[in-house]
Amino acid sequence: MSTSSPATDLARLVRDGRRYWASPAGQAVWQAERACLGPVCERLFGAHSLELGMTSALADMCPVRHAMRWAPTRELVEQAATLVCPPDALPLRDDSLSLVVIHHLLEVLPDPHHMLQEAARVTADDGRLIIFGWVPLGPAGWSRAWPGRRRRLPWRGHWRTPGRLKDWLAFVDFEIERVDYCGFHLPGSLPRNAMLETLGRHHNLPLGDSYMIHARRKPQLAQTQRSRLTFARPLGGSVLGGATRLGPSRIEPEQERMTEGD
């Protein structure tokens, strides 16, 4: 009988993910995605942002004053301003962040719906929710057909189309503004071909390795209605579940009194 806990499994997943994103293949995709995110970040201003993912910072070029990262355990913390908590129980107030980035986590987490609900909850009415996902029918998707690959990152998990995530976002009262594709390359090569990347992004062809969804709260519901989703257990700022924030907090005064437990 397995004695591993959800936190242990999540920490193992993040370690595996970091190994992939540090590899030449992972770095090539990361650079293409960061270039895709850059123009979006240039137009975003605000006080606080959060990145949820397994790689190094993508949005560090954004002019947001207080940028936070996430880690499932203290051992995986890489910088001071880091939330240590389950990804579906963020110790933050509603509407407190100008930018939230979910980077290739919805494919591999056991409970992606709760995580998406939490990310939507903490995104401000005038903020942006950015989601990176793998294109099921792109070159990386084709390579999943190789035997045994679906048990390893990045090919494991459930790869969903932007159309499917559009339905998920609608349940948390968000809508997609735009979908951008990135990571263009020929089969068997890495996405380092500048000409293919420029051509693919210019025409926004759904043939890259990954996509980037820009989402925001539906304007007509921004002040009158919250998420219609209901789950078996409560979520939100009242559920900290042993969550810890490392580094200085500048969001809400009462969060300074949070216990910095192990």
pLDDT score recorded for residue 23: 95
Q: What is the mean pLDDT of each run of 10 residues along the chain (262 residues)?
A: 76 96 94 92 87 93 91 93 95 96 96 96 95 90 78 91 96 96 86 85 91 92 50 42 46 40 42
pLDDT score recorded for residue 222: 46
Query: What are the beta bridge partners of residue 67?
Result: 49
pLDDT score recorded for residue 2: 52
CA angle, 250 as apex, 51 and 236 as ends, to 5°?
A: 60
Are the C-beta atoms of residues 76 and 11 closer than 8 Å to each other?
A: yes
pLDDT score recorded for residue 228: 52
The pTM score is 0.82
pLDDT score recorded for residue 3: 61
Alpha carbon distance, N-terminus to C-terminus of the chain: 27
CB burial string 92-112: b at 16+ within 10 A, e below: beebbbbbbbbbbbbbbbeeb
Domains of the chain: 11-86+94-217 (3.40.50.150)
